[in-house]
Structure 1
Amino acid sequence: MQLSTRNQLDGAVVSITRGEAMAVVRVRLTGGDEITSSITRDAVEDLRLTEGTRVKVLIKSTEVALGVE
């Protein structure tokens, strides 16, 4: 499958925290950094995500904000 999303990062699922409707999926990227994604519980099941599952993180955003104190 080809996608128009340019920010594509390879990684593996480290943990999945399920809530009532949503789940937080933590992914360790190839370089060692970690990123989280909030997706529906249905999506976790549909994608058959478990710890160790290899995934491609797709980032599409119109804004990236940073803050410091």
Structure 2
Amino acid sequence: MKISARNILKGKVKEVKHGMVDTEVDIELPGGGEIVSVITKHSAETMKLAKGKEVYAVIKASNVMIMVD
């Protein structure tokens, strides 16, 4: 499979929190970092997301904001 997104992070599902409509998926990255994604509950169920499953976080954004104190 090919995709135009340049930021693809491989990791493992750390936790899946289902809501009424959306699901929050915590992904543990190699090296201990984490990223969180909110997707539809239907998508999470279709992909059978569960703790320990290997996944890819695909990030495609036209804007990335940076802030300092």
Return the TM-score normalized by structure 1. Answer: 0.92
Give runs of ≥4 in structure 1 deviating > 6 Å: none
User: What secondary structure sits across from 1:39 in the alignment?
Assistant: strand
1:1-33 per-residue CA deviation (whole Å, 9 max, x = no partner) reads: 111111001100000111100010000011210
Which runs of no fewer than 5 residues in structure 2 stay unpaired? none
Instruction: Output aligned runs, 1:26-45, within 5 Å.
Output: 26-45=26-45
Identity score, percent: 36
TM-score, scaled relative to structure 2 = 0.92
Helix, strand or coil at the partner of 1:42: helix
Secondary structure of 1:38 counterpart: strand
Structure 1 residue 66, shift from structure 2 partner: 3.2
Q: How many residues align?
A: 69
RMSD: 1.0
